[in-house]
Amino acid sequence: MFRKLILFFLLFYSLGAGQEISNISVVEGNNKYLISSYNFQGSIYISLSQLGDVLGYKSFYSESGKKLTVYFQDFELNAIANNPYLLIKEKSTNNIETFQLPTSIHFNKNEIFIPLNATINLLSTLSGKEIIILSPNKLFITGNLAEERNKLFSVKLSNENSDTFLQIKMLKQAKYSISRNRKNEFYIFFRNTLIDIEDDKGFLQQGNVEEFDIISNKEDAIIKIKFDSSEVAYEIIETKNNNEFILHFFYREESDWYEKESEHFKLIYRESHAHLANHILSSAENSLKRLIPIFDYNPKEKIIINTYDASDYGFGATTNVPQNYIRLEIESFEPGYEAVPYNERIQWLLSHELVHIVVNDEESDLETVVRDLFRKVPPEKTQPVTTIYSILGNFTRYTPRWYQEGIAVFMETWLSGGYGRTLGSFDEMYFRSLILEGKNFPSHWDIETILSHNSIFLENIFYFYGTRFVSYLSIIYGVDKVIDWFKTYPNQNLVGFIGKFSDVLGEDFYDAWKEFARTEKIFQEKNIEVLKSSQLTKVNKLSKNTFGWVTQPYFDSQTLSVIYGYHRSAQLATLQKFHLLTRNSEDLTSLPTPSIYQVASTAFDASNNLF
């Protein structure tokens, strides 16, 4: 029975491959330390026990359960290998809280490794020390947080016509948030901040300000400002010094939307997104600044960026008709299977979407004439003739989706220092599986007309093949030639992507696609041979059924069964109990809204029989 259980776990649950361990530098005062770490698909993992030693707290490792406990002053932190949760026990009350991680905890070279970015704020809170990431290979520890409190030492309130300016200076870079109450009251919260203002004349009430106050709330500071009208909005003005900023309050027509512009962009956002406005505009300008010389692009209109927060996970969507527009969902990304490696998500996402704008907005001589006469015409179902005008004025927009996404993913990766799907492990796994299973390599027409509808990946298939083909071309012909293929020159009137391919690369497109398929097959066959050279665990099949994609399985010792969720073609995602003695499957309940290839976060409490 025990062997069967072990085989089942090995079959369905990957414990993760070992990574090449390097060191990350940690600076605390005059002391410098080196802590074991490694980069796993874009995420930095760090040794928890070694970091605990640097922070000055002892730890204990249990070999039997691969469990590490770090003993902080007021808390105990427990980390278990291959588990996506940290357990935090408060010593005074014995209360235990769970902290969920985006990925599982790693076990490597007899060490417990945790994702640094996901845990840095938690570790700062537990240790009472502020841990700062200076660079991907360097940390800075400021010491005791109480000794490192920020100071609010200058606040100046001024009026200019009907506008109000609140200038704030801190000892160091401020951590603050802004909220509105009763429509005409604003509160600015400063975390771990001491009020140290000698001259209070700078914030006397004036103009349209009805009430102004600075409040000390335990370890935090709060500024309250109340206006004589609810039709007041604000924007954050950054200065050259990161310890100083200005809040600009102004009257506006009552609306849920705000606008802010930069040289090439107009940002439309809600008040709750105001803290992101400057960052979004600067990120967009940085990306466009790099794309303009690469594609010889000359923007003739400001690009609209509209922020939303209406989905579970962040994404972007772009069009260039009737104007250049990006919908930016600001939610955090879902890192499922780490299929989308990225660095800073706003910069990374805008780099991708702006490639679509640049490639599709470039114009030939004919497109220039059509746009001058009719502007950029969107196709309308009720007016079929608009399709003709739209194609004449925006020809590149109607190229295949894989062509569009291929260059966007390619540039997204290299504009972000190598973080992107061009180097993603999920794509690699997909093509290796394709060859291993002996499936035919699709033509570019198959991708657009059949595979994107029949595959479990749906439209994600465009990203896989487009990215792979563009990457292949960059290796064979060079990046400059690839970029040239996507450019639109004045004399290229109604020249399609296949015609441009022959002109730029000097080869027939269809021959190049066949060679791409042949090269990929040879490459993956070599990879498969390397994998086959390693000895495999003997497989003992527990069931003749194929369950498709499964969650992490859990063993229920009371019923001698394994509980897990699965999702297979043409069937609702289901929670199942598999009985090891009888080898019968029992469907417990269907699961709502499964994602395409995100990781399921699951847990099983055997004592309470709770999944």
pLDDT tens string 512-525: 999 999 999 999 99
Is the pLDDT assigned to residue 267 strictly greater than 50?
yes
The pLDDT of residue 339 is: 63
d(CA 115, CA 121): 12
Of 13, 19, 192, residue with least CA distance to 115: 19
Is the pLDDT assigned to residue 16 strictly greater than 60?
no
Highest mean pLDDT out of 105-119, 204-218, 459-473: 459-473
Reading the block at residue 500, the tokens are 């441009």
CATH code for the structural domain at 265-362: 3.30.2010
- Count how many residues are written for the chain: 611
Is the domain spanning 17-144 CATH 3.40.50.970? The answer is no
d(CA 143, CA 124): 10
The pLDDT of residue 200 is: 61
Reading the block at residue 334, the tokens are 């879902």
Pairing of strands 43-47, 59-62: unpaired
Is the pLDDT assigned to residue 293 strictly greater than 90?
yes
The pLDDT of residue 13 is: 39
Is the pLDDT assigned to residue 87 strictly greater than 80?
yes
Residue pair 604/25 in contact (Cβ under 8 Å)? The answer is no
Whether the upstream peptide bond of residue 400 has omega within 30° of 0, thus cis, is: no
pTM to 2 decimal places: 0.67
Question: With pLDDT > 70 as the criterion, what percentage of the chain qualifies?
Answer: 92
The pLDDT of residue 43 is: 83
CATH for 150-254 (3.60.9.10, 1.10.10.10, 2.60.40.3470, 6.10.140.120): 2.60.40.3470
d(CA 335, CA 319): 25
Of 5, 2, 85, residue with least CA distance to 542: 5
Is the pLDDT assigned to residue 5 strictly greater than 60?
no
d(CA 256, CA 233): 10
Give Dmax over CA atoms of the chain in angstroms: 82
Element holding 267 (H helix, E strand): strand 265-270
Packing angle, helices 116-127 and 48-55, rounded to 10: 30
Reading the block at residue 467, the tokens are 């990215």
The pLDDT of residue 593 is: 66
> How many Cα atoms are found within 13 Å in the side-chain-facing hemisphere of 604?
19
For 340-359, letters b (16+ CB in 10 Å) and e give bbbeebbbbbbbbbbbbbbb
Query: Please, where in the chain does CATH 3.30.457.10 lie?
Result: 17-144
Residue pair 565/574 in contact (Cβ under 8 Å)? The answer is yes
Residue pair 306/317 in contact (Cβ under 8 Å)? The answer is no
Mean pLDDT of 278-302: 95
Q: Lowest mean pLDDT of 162-176, 578-592, 594-608, name the range.
A: 594-608
- Tell me if residue 9 falls in helix, strand or coil: helix
**232-238, strands of its sheet edge to edge:** 193-195, 150-160, 163-170, 244-251, 232-238
d(CA 368, CA 387): 17
Is the pLDDT assigned to residue 92 strictly greater than 60?
yes
Chain segment 342-378, per-residue pLDDT in tens: 778 899 999 999 999 999 999 999 999 999 999 999 9
Is the pLDDT assigned to residue 402 strictly greater than 70?
yes
Is the pLDDT assigned to residue 27 strictly greater than 50?
yes
Cβ partners under 8 Å of residue 532, min gap 6: none
Compute how many other C-beta atoms are within 10 angstroms of the C-beta atom of residue 163: 14
Under the banding of pLDDT at 50, 70 and 90, the label for residue 255 is confident
Under the banding of pLDDT at 50, 70 and 90, the label for residue 142 is confident
The pLDDT of residue 8 is: 43
Q: Lowest mean pLDDT of 97-101, 201-205, 442-446, 448-452, name the range.
A: 201-205
Chain segment 183-196, per-residue pLDDT in tens: 889 999 998 888 88
Chain segment 441-496, per-residue pLDDT in tens: 999 999 999 888 888 788 889 999 999 999 999 999 999 999 999 999 999 999 99
d(CA 310, CA 301): 27
Residue pair 239/246 in contact (Cβ under 8 Å)? The answer is yes
The rounded mean pLDDT for the chain is 87
Is the pLDDT assigned to residue 599 strictly greater than 70?
no
Q: Lowest mean pLDDT of 23-27, 309-313, 357-361, 595-599, name the range.
A: 595-599
Position with higher pLDDT, 143 vs 100: 100
d(CA 333, CA 236): 25
Under the banding of pLDDT at 50, 70 and 90, the label for residue 394 is very high
Partners of 212 in beta bridges: 225
d(CA 280, CA 167): 22
d(CA 472, CA 468): 6
Query: Please, where in the chain does CATH 3.30.2010 lie?
Result: 265-362
Q: Lowest mean pLDDT of 268-277, 318-327, 514-523, name the range.
A: 268-277
The pLDDT of residue 383 is: 93
The pLDDT of residue 76 is: 94
Is the pLDDT assigned to residue 136 strictly greater than 80?
no
Query: Please, where in the chain does CATH 2.60.40.3470 lie?
Result: 150-254
Is the pLDDT assigned to residue 405 strictly greater than 90?
yes
Is the pLDDT assigned to residue 4 strictly greater than 70?
no
Position with higher pLDDT, 495 vs 13: 495
d(CA 495, CA 365): 12
